[in-house]
Copies of this chain bind each other. A is one copy, B any other.
Amino acid sequence: MTADHDPGETRLQRGQRALAAIDGEAGQKVIESLAGIAPDFATYLFEFPFGDIYSRPGLSLRDREIATIAALAALGTAQPQLKVHVAAGLNVGLSEDEITEILMQMAVYAGFPAALNGLFAAKEAFAARAGGGAG
């Protein structure tokens, strides 16, 4: 599964479509929270990460989310974004168990606290999704 290009789309439109497909509502909330402080940054967020990078054909969205979840957990400075991408990973085909494997593996590369904090973020994201699904 990759995001395909529609030649008639602008980068902004392609990014908006990709963000909706990958992050769903959580991505939309990030965009809205930027309205009062930096609306141009919302445009860049659509255009570069989603319109350019995630829309490239050379790697599936599932593989891209493995990379993103691993990187955010290793950095340890982006827990809100990690939760968004745990949900995104589930949206594009990763299972909860696979995401748990990725986060456990981060103990090797970024230490046990990074893995633990990543697992706790995932636990919240899994629960939020289960809760939302019951609504």
Contact = CB atoms under 8 A, between A and B. Distances in A.
Interface of A: 30, 33-34, 36-38, 40-41, 44-45, 48-49, 52-54, 56, 58-59, 63-64, 66-78, 80-81, 97-98, 100-117, 119-120, 122-123, 126
B34 A119 contact: yes
Given A37-B122, A102-B59, A117-B78, A108 B49 contact: yes
Q: Is the interface of A mostly helix, strand, loop or mixed?
A: helix
Given A48-B44, A67-B66, A77-B77, A53 B108 contact: yes
Nearest to A54: B105
Contact of A114 (B59, B78, B101, B105): B78
A92 to B, nearest CB: 13
A72 to B, nearest CB: 6
Contact of A66 (B52, B56, B63, B104): B63
Given A53-B107, A74-B74, A107-B53, A80 B37 contact: no
Contacts of A112: 45, 49, 81, 108-109
